[in-house]
Amino acid sequence: MSVHDFWTPFSLLPFLNALIIGISLASIWLIAALGLAIIYGTMGVINMAHGELIMLGAYTTYVFQSLVGVPFLICLPLAFFVVAAIGWVIERGVIRTLYTRPLDTLLATWGLSLILIQSVRLIFGGEPQYVGVPSWLNFQIDASFVHLSGLRLFIVLMAIILVTLTWYILYRTTLGIRVRAVMQDKEMAASFGIDANRVYSLTFAYGAGLAGAAGAMFGALKTLFPDMGSAYVVEAFLVVVVGGIGLIGSVFSSALLGELNSVFSYFTNDTFARFVLFTLVVVFLRFRPQGIISEGMGRR
Amino acid sequence: MKLTRRSVLKGAATGAAAAAVTSPFVFLPNKALAAPWISKGGTIKVGVLFSQSGNLAVVENDSAQVVLYAIDEINANGGVAGMQIEPVVVDAKSDIKVYSEKISQLILRDRVISTFGGYTSASRRAVAPVVMARNHLFYYPTCYEGRECTQNIINTGPLANQHSQDLIPFMVENFGPKVYLVGSNYIWPKESNKNAKVWLERSGGEVVGEDYVPLGGSEFTPIFNKIRQQQPDFIFSTVVGDSDIALHKQFLQEGFKADKMPIASLTTGEIETRAMGAEAGAGHFLSAPYFQTMENPTNQRFVEGYLGSQYGGGGVTHYNMEETYLSVYVWKYGVEAALAAAGDIEEVTPRLIRDSSAGIKVEDEVSPEGLVWIDPDNFNIWLKPKIGQCQADGQFKVIKAAAEHVGPDPMSIYPERGVCKADGLHTPDGTVRQNVL
Amino acid sequence: MTSVLELKGVTRAFNDYIAVNGFDLTVNEGELRCLLGPNGAGKTTSLDLITGRQKLTSGSVHLRGNDITHMSEQQIARQGVGRKFQVPAVFKELSVKDNFEVAFTRERGPFANMAVMRRSDGEARYNEIIEIVGLGDRLEVPAGLLSHGETQWLEIGMVLMQDPSLLLMDEPTAGMTEQETAKTSDIFNELKGTHTLIVVEHDMSFVREIADIITVMHMGSLLAEGTISEIENNSVVREVYLGSEGIS
Amino acid sequence: MNGNIYHNRKAQWVAYVAVFVLLALVPTVFDNPFTLNQLARYSVFALLAVSVSLIWGFGGILSLGQGIAFGLASYGMGMTMQMQFQNPEYDPIPSFMLTNELETLPLLWEPFLSTPVGLILTILVPTGFFVIFGILMFQARVAGVFVAIMTLAMLAAWYSMAYDMQPFTAGFNGISPPLPLQIFGGEVDPYSPLAYWICVGVLATLTLATKALLHTKFGLIVQAIRDDAERARFLGYNVAYYQVVVFAISGFLAAWAGLCWVMIVQYVSPTSMEIAFSISMVVWAAVGGRASLLGAIIGAFMVNGIQSYLGDELQQVWMLILGAIFIGVVLFLPRGIAGLLELILSKVPFGRGPSGAQWSAETGTEEKAS
């Protein structure tokens, strides 16, 4: 078969660098999936508009950076809060009425994603935009087999920071305790005076905010265009589904998927890597459907 | 059967609903199909089929605008054969299904005599079947891979064989023999790379790596990892669209330098450098038949006229737009030649325009890139490829222009398949195959 | 008397928690057995283990001498075990009639059923069932619109429709009014003798109405077994069960 | 029978047949080839919506992967028609394969040299894949949103595959067979009434067959599984088996849609397996009414008709409109247009049954009579 004329031969140092790149890819996948994982884990909502929230984060950064002149580092929290606010509105307007109908949420959020894409296209046009990378990130690490650009390193660090922050909020604050209580048993939590609706709103807004922050970084890494979000949404779902509910699961699954992607890309090409990866995930779900069987044991 | 009456009522109600649903689709009685394509005293209708919304709109919107600009220009100068041109503009919405639906609308319902459209090979191939079946005429105004021999498509962009013959020897000579090929993962880049390899062999270069990214893909780190491993002297890029912008940006981020290992591209023009920022584009090379900075009176007039018109909102001109602009003039001359052959405008058919277009020239006074002409056999275009280097302002400086026109040869690296002539592909065993896609 | 169901040393453990521990149970033909025990005693889990909803950690389940320990839910159901769930499970969007029809399971394979038009076979059978559980005037109503009691009867009717040789009823009177409970005990008394039943129940007055023999579970194991008066006078049972929740 | 004619089975059949007869009569009134071709396309979309309605509305399984069957069948048909153009002796391989240095026809393409074999494979391969994929999912008792995600991932995998395997598929460029389908010594001009009738005929036949199937006990059990899979399992039904069968049937329907699509469009590319397209099918079914096959058909015709004939200004905001329609339907009209019709007809007294009030045993007899 002549599909892959260049089957890259194994060579140790570049292969090791491929593993490093895998970490970089994994951090991107993790950042893209984190918000989704929180929303799905807490509320059981499959948010098809997640990619578009990332896109909104990127455009927010673009607006603040290029049109207002805010430095990149400040744009990150701005993107977080702006998209979190949008997420809050979405939760109030659409998601709230659909908690008992998870499939319908999936479809409604898909409709929402169309609206978001088209609105952005109407406002900013279809031309690609870009977010400038601050000059202090214009460096490269070049040490024996390690080659990593400053921006990639920054994203890896941000992934660690965001996960830590999320972990802290979930496990070390009263809000986190409430969120986890609602996660485990909504009725029970309600009987302790926890307002589940409020918790849901905040969780959705927080998850959306994480997507916004992700968008800010992806904007710097890649090109902005209105349907850029669709590139992330399938991957983000896979991270969440493979990881199962919980922060640690997402970290592990994104690490696994990122490395696999990098290694497959090293030996073959990116398109084929995606094919192999998606198929593996489907097969994996077949054999490890933990947390995937919808009919819970305790229902009856 | 006491329910029958009501059943029928319900059936009738549903039927009426269905009729209400279907009624908007009803337009013309079929007898119109026998009528001439151009009626005396009317206008000449042409189709303009580009994506004005969706992700392809970035490029194709400019194409649509420049077609309208050219039509305005021609109409202002008296039209074609004394008749005004009436463009029927249709938005293909970046959806391949819509291209295929709208081309049949243009041909069968709107009865345009020719259509300008498309930027991707996928859209060309999607419209081809109906264009061929109705013996109609489609102008595909951008570069493509060749290797097809159809009787109903005229192309005004360079084929794969017209791109590399100057660029590759130039790069090998100035930077070294080792090249890494990076392309978007589809046919055109692969075909271009095959042609590039032919010229590499002739100029003593060698391929040290070849990689393809998905269309729209923007992750180049794994590829740069391999590039670092292989140490090429230059990169030959056939990456298109958004990916191309990502390629150049990540090239910078990864710490590569354009003066050490430049990217020689077939795609990175003025639109792309504007989108990626001139910083990311500067120093790299592009092979194209046209650059905005070309210094000749026709180009000056074109750039000023177009950018000053209501259509020139994009702010730059670009090889793809210029090729599209040419296609309208190629069409105009084709209609005039067809009229001369038929004697009566009502006898002019799309196929007659095509057949009359053999050898049609667009002279220096009209063509911003200089004289070009349509190949009388395969109906692609003869042109002079040029090499430009991107400057700090995002514009290109023409470094080298071919001395002679280079002819299009869709079967150049497949001589065993036969020779593309006006009436079809003449295969070695003596048969003539029409519409080889 | 032949034994219909025989559980030997049935155990179900989740990590460090043992839900059912070495539980033995024998139920004879035509008997109505009541399964009692405080919350968490392992009653519902035992039903799950019998019907294949959960897998045994150890032990065995025999139905009329056949080992059904490792069978799937549908295989066990086809062996003639019918089950009514604690939270009534019916097909909410289907009419009551269609619910009965689905429960009439002469053919179980999809392709065999493609040749069966609805209501061709089940007619006579559901006339009998409707005699027992009622609902004759509600046949066209979507099951989701039934009252709670009606839903319980529908599910009982569906299980009967299935024509099982062993019926497992998990809290059939939960959430019922007194009149409804009375009607339910009538239904059960009608079934007694012709069917073998295991009933998990909290409502002692209901148990008194229907039970032949009572099995009491505690902490996943057998605590006591006997007639209603034997159980009521058993001091151990009093201590762990009656004392804690009280049998009313 | 609750006194609503919407639920009357006979009336339903009359409505179905009436719609198809009406569709079949279109060419006798309007013979513009473009209109016919366009309506034929809508019929194909309608068939896709029917397949979604079956698997989702009746089977309770939200599959976002109907595009897999559609796409596979499209490729099968594309290959069949392409090979009709090639001559096995002096021109055995399609020209796009040259780019990828294929010297001989790949084994994968070999069977498509024969049109009957090609057509059979066009239907068989997607259906077979749905059987395997269905077994993979439903035996593991995957349900709900996880089916949606798994079908989505599988669709994305196939898309990448069609895209990457360029020696066999021409990748992004797609395959455009230069000639219309040649069959029984004639050819099917995509713009002829014949092509239109084939598409409408396939739609009518398969829809009516599906409707008949839903009226069998099999159909009843499928709907029962939708409502409560576990209850069905404890009645002794092999739920996974039923789900696999109904999933495969939906794949079979989508495969026919793929076959007809390429017949009237003469083009196939990976876009047939785009995620957005597969979700669109769900949109059509949802707008029309997922729990009604006819509703799904009407939904497909309506959404696509609006999309094609919206004014130019509105074209720019088409996605906004579609998104809004969709959210609106999901939020306020979960049973779609068919549900709306059901609601309206419930206000119309029908038969002997008192409408909307008390049910009586007598009203039940109407259905038996019908």
Task: Express each pLDDT in D340-367 by its tens digit.
Answer: 888 888 887 665 444 333 333 333 322 3
Domain positions in chain C:
3-242
Is the confidence at residue A297, as pLDDT, over 50? no
- The ranges assigned to domains in chain A are 12-289
The answer, for D218 touching chain C at a CB cutoff of 8 Å, is yes
What was the pLDDT predicted at A245?
Answer: 66
Residue B126 exposed, middle or buried by CB count within 10 Å (0-12, 13-18, 19+): buried
Domains, chain B, ranges and CATH? 37-158+297-374 (3.40.50.2300), 159-288+383-437 (3.40.50.2300)
Say if residues A213 and A162 touch (Cβ distance below 8 Å): yes
- Show which subunits contact D, needing at least 3 CB pairs below 8 angstroms: A, B, C
CA distance D124 to chain B (A): 25
CB pair distance less than 8 Å for A127 and B226:
no
D113 vs B: CB within 8 A: no
What average pLDDT does this structure show over D252-260? 97
- The answer to whether the Cβ–Cβ distance between A300 and C54 falls below 8 Å is no
Q: What's the whole-number average pLDDT of chain A? A: 83
Contact D329, D287 (CB under 8 A): yes
Name the closest residue on chain A to residue C84, using Cα atoms: A300
Structure confidence at residue C86 (pLDDT): 86
According to DSSP, the β-strands at B178-184 and B206-213 are parallel
The answer to whether the beta carbons of residues D178 and B435 sit under 8 Å apart is yes
pLDDT above 70: percentage of residues in chain A: 92
Mutation to test the B interface, candidates D172, D203, D355, most B Cβ within 10 Å: D172
- How far apart are alpha carbons D158 and C134 in whole angstroms? 53
C87 contact residues in A (CB cutoff 8 A)? 299-300
Note the pLDDT tens digit of each residue in D4-17. 788 888 889 999 99
Closest chain A CA to residue C171: A300
Q: Which of A241-255, B246-260, B347-361 has the lowest mean pLDDT?
A: A241-255
Contacts of C86 in chain A (CB under 8 A): 300
Task: Give the pLDDT score at B33.
Answer: 52
Average pLDDT of chain B is 87
**Rounded (5°) CA angle B42-B48-B53:** 140
pLDDT for residue B331 is more than 50: yes
Task: Give me the pLDDT at residue A195, please.
Answer: 84
With CA atoms as reference, the chain D residue closest to A49 would be D323
Tell me the longest C-alpha to C-alpha distance in chain A.
Answer: 65
Q: DSSP character for C238?
A: I
Q: How many CB atoms lie within 10 A of CB A123?
A: 10
| pLDDT averaged over every residue in chain C | 85
**Nearest CA-CA distance, residue B32 and chain D, Å:** 9
Within a 13 Å sphere around the CA of D116, how many CA atoms are in the beta-carbon half? 2
CB contact under 8 A, A130 and B221: no
DSSP letter for C48, please.
H
Residues C3-242, CATH architecture = 3-Layer(aba) Sandwich (3.40)
- Touching chains, B (3+ CB pairs < 8 A): A, D
| Confidence at D285, pLDDT banded by 50, 70, 90 | very high
Query: Hey, is the C-beta of D302 within 8 angstroms of any chain A C-beta?
Result: no
Q: Distance (Å, rounded) from C-alpha A220 to C-alpha A75? A: 11
Regarding predicted confidence, which is higher, C238 or D68? Answer: D68
The dihedral built from the CA positions of residue B295, B298, B304 and B307, taken in this order, carries a sign that is negative
Name the 3-class secondary structure at D139: coil
Tokens linked to D327: 């959210």
| Cα separations in angstroms, A251 against A32, A156, A256, B154 | 11, 12, 9, 54
More confident residue, A268 or B185: B185
Tens digit of each residue's pLDDT (9 = 90 or more) over A280-291: 888 887 777 653
Measured from the Cβ of residue A205, the count of other Cβ atoms closer than 10 Å reads: 23
Q: Which ipTM score applies to this complex?
A: 0.88
What residues 205-264 of chain A have any CB closer than 8 A to a CB of chain B? 221-223, 225-227, 231, 262
Name every chain A residue with its beta carbon within 8 A of the beta carbon of B252: 138
C164 — phi, psi (to 5°)?
Answer: -85, 160
Residues of A in contact with C89 (CB under 8 A): 300
d(CA C231, CA C222): 13
How buried is residue C179: exposed, middle or buried, by Cβ count under 10 Å (0-12/13-18/19+)? exposed
Q: Percentage of chain B with pLDDT > 90?
A: 53
Answer yes or no: is pLDDT of D104 > 70: yes
> Rounded distance, CA D300 to CA D49, Å?
6
Residue B2: pLDDT band with limits 50, 70, 90: very low
Strand C32-36, strand C196-200: pairing:
parallel
For D61, the enclosing helix (H) or strand (E) is: none
Average pLDDT over residues C156-166: 88
Min Cα distance A221 → chain D (Å) is: 23
Bridge partners (DSSP) of residue B285 are: B264, B389
For residue B3, what pLDDT is reported? Answer: 42
**In degrees to the nearest 10, what's the CA dihedral of A177, A179, A183, A189?**
70
Token readout for B331 is: 């069409």
- Residues of chain D found within 8 Å of residue C111, distances taken between Cβ atoms: 218, 245
What pLDDT band is residue B362 in, cutting at 50, 70 and 90?
Answer: very high
Our CA-based measurement puts residue A194 at a distance from the nearest CA of chain C, in whole angstroms, of: 26
pLDDT given for residue D360 in this prediction = 32
CA C161 to chain centre: 14
The rounded distance, in Å, linking the Cα atoms of A273 and A282 is: 14
Q: Are D294 and D81 in contact (CB under 8 A)?
A: no
User: What span, in angstroms and rounded, lies between the C-alpha atoms of B236 and B206?
Assistant: 12
Q: What is the pLDDT of residue D54?
A: 97
Reported as a single tens digit per residue, the pLDDT across B84-132 is: 999 999 988 888 888 998 999 999 989 999 999 999 888 999 999 999 9
pLDDT at C163 over 90: no
Instruction: Quote the pLDDT of residue B30.
Output: 43
Nearest by Cα to C3 from C38, C35, C27, C25? C27
Average pLDDT on B43-52 reads: 93
Query: How many angstroms separate the CA atoms of B193 and A121, rounded?
Result: 34
Q: Is the pLDDT of residue D369 over 50?
A: no
In this structure, the dihedral spanned by the alpha carbons of residues B50, D173, B126 and D258, taken in order and rounded to 10 degrees, is: -130
* CB pair distance less than 8 Å for D271 and B122: yes
Q: Decide if pLDDT at C247 tops 60.
A: no
Higher pLDDT, B207 or A262: B207
Answer yes or no: are the C-beta atoms of C78 and C133 closer than 8 Å. Answer: no
Q: Is residue B370 very low, low, confident or very high in pLDDT (cuts 50, 70, 90)?
A: very high
- What 3 state SS string does chain B have? CCCHHHHHHHHHHHHHHHHHHHHHHCCCCHHHHHCCCCCCCCCEEEEEEECCCCCCHHHHHHHHHHHHHHHHHHHHCCCECCECEEEEEEECCCCHHHHHHHHHHHHHHCCCCEEEECCCHHHHHHHHHHHHHCCCCEEECCCECCCCECCCEEECCCEHHHHHHHHHHHHHHHHCCEEEEEEECCHHHHHHHHHHHHHHHHHCCEEEEEEEECCCCCCCHHHHHHHHHHCCCEEEEECCHHHHHHHHHHHHHCCCCCCCCCEEECCCCHHHHHHHCHHHHCCCEEEECCCCCCCCHHHHHHHHHHHHCCCCCCCCCCHHHHHHHHHHHHHHHHHHHHHHHHCCHHHCCHHHHHHHCCCCEECCCCCCCCCEEECCCCCCEEECCEEEEECCCCCEEEEEECCCCECCCCCCCCHHHCEEECCEEECCCCCEECCEC
pLDDT digits (tens, 9 = 90+) for A26-49: 998 898 889 988 888 888 888 889
CB contacts, 8 Å: C53 with chain A = 297
**Contact (Cβ atoms closer than 8 angstroms) between residue B80 and residue B336:** yes
Question: D33-52 and B96-104 helices cross at what angle (nearest 10)?
Answer: 150
A98: amino acid identity, one letter? L
pLDDT at A168 over 60: yes
- How far apart CA B69 and CA B165 sit, in angstroms, is 32
Average pLDDT (D70-77) is 97
**Is B229 close to A14, i.e. CB distance below 8 A?**
yes
Looking at residue D121, its pLDDT comes to 96
- Is the pLDDT confidence value at D312 over 90? no
Q: What is the pLDDT of residue A175?
A: 84
Contact call for residues A24 and A148 (beta carbons, < 8 A)? yes
Minimum-distance CB partner of B214 among A13, A225, A270: A270
From A208-222, C114-128, D9-23, D305-319, the region with the lowest mean pLDDT: C114-128
* Rg from Cα positions in chain D: 22
Averaged pLDDT, D208-223: 94
For the cut 60, the answer to whether the pLDDT of residue A8 exceeds it is yes
In the predicted structure, residue C88 carries a pLDDT above the cut 80: yes
